[in-house]
């Protein structure tokens, strides 16, 4: 979630939204060590939720947006939150388009994967050219 501020209200909004989208109350939550997270977790998800804030347990989440980090580093960050949100939406859509999700332990022939990749590449190029 991209937020202009990183405070209690933003943390509560995030946990409320995550619970509404998934429909699940987790048994444990892993975050970084920001001060507002423990209170937001207790108030939005309940007092019996285990909160973990080890940097090593959070690596999986941090690696998810490694691609975005490598793109905005050379740009020296974003000027405004709306431009960051627009960039992240476009980057995520393009990543989803080019990296098809496969079912676990299901293979497909190289020719079919190549066809899907070329089709996705054509769509991505058309979208980028129209911007």
Residue 131 has pLDDT above 60, yes or no: no
Domain assignment present for 72: no
Give the pLDDT of residue 61: 64
CB 67 within 8 A of CB 92: no
Residues 17 and 59 in one domain: yes
Residues 55 and 13 in one domain: yes
Tokens 């496969």 belong to residue:
102
Number of domains in the chain: 2
pLDDT digit string, tens, across residues 51-97: 988 777 766 666 666 667 676 766 676 777 777 777 777 777 777 66
Beta bridge partners of 51: 29
Average pLDDT over the chain reads 78
Give the pLDDT of residue 85: 78
Give the pLDDT of residue 126: 79
């Amino acid at each position: 979630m991209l937020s202009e501020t990183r405070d209690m209200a933003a943390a509560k909004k995030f946990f409320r939204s995550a619970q509404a989208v998934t429909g699940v109350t987790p048994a444990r939550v892993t975050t970084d060590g920001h001060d507002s997270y423990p209170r937001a977790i207790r108030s939005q998800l309940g007092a019996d939720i285990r909160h973990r804030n080890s940097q090593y347990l959070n690596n999986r989440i941090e690696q998810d947006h490694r691609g975005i980090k490598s793109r905005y580093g050379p740009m020296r960050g974003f000027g405004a939150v709306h431009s960051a949100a627009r960039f992240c939406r476009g980057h995520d859509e393009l990543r989803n388009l080019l990296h098809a999700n496969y079912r676990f332990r299901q293979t497909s022939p190289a020719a079919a994967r190549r066809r899907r990749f070329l089709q996705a590449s054509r769509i991505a190029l058309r979208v980028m050219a129209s911007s």
